[in-house]
Structure 1
Amino acid sequence: MPSSILLQSGGGAGAVFFLFFLVTIGLAVWTYSDARRNSGHPAFLWAIVVFLAPILGILLYILLGRN
């Protein structure tokens, strides 16, 4: 019975948001480590761009940020 109450309360939306947040953090960490090796631009700024706008940020980094 408690599992059906949990599903009715919208618990799935929180799980999806948390998963999206974890993927965004992972992309920012990967971008930072990759930019330190393969970019002439500051790696910290690329990580911030990817964290704030994940899809656009990773596309910009791949197209413009890598040497």
Structure 2
Amino acid sequence: MGIAAGVSLVVGLLTLLAHVLMIAWTYRDATRRSSHPAFLWALVVFFAPLFGVVLYLIFGR
């Protein structure tokens, strides 16, 4: 395994971690602050991570 493969692995894992953390944060925040179902907001963030968080911040709170 070369240096490029190792760097790619680390970047991929960090991206996956960020995605999971965005979903978890949105779900937890939506259960407290949103009148819409938190599960639906989590699905929006799952399918469109950055756009979904922006949508949640505009319409979900």
Q: Do the two structures share a fold, i.e. TM-score over 0.5?
A: yes
Structure showing greater Rg: 1
- Per the normalisation by structure 2, the TM-score is 0.90
Pick aligned residue for 1:15 from 10, 14, 37:
10
Residues 1-67 of structure 1 mapped to structure 2, 5 A cutoff: 6-8=2-4, 10-66=5-61
Structure 1 runs of 4+ aligned residues shifted over 6 Å read: none
CA RMSD of aligned residues (A): 1.2
Question: Take 1:7 and 1:35, find their aligned partners in 2: how far apart are those partners?
Answer: 40
SS of 1:15 mapped into structure 2: helix
SS of 2:36 mapped into structure 1: coil
Gap regions ≥5 residues in structure 2: none
Q: CA deviation at 1:6?
A: 2.9
Residue identity over aligned pairs, in percent, reads 46
Gap regions ≥5 residues in structure 1: none
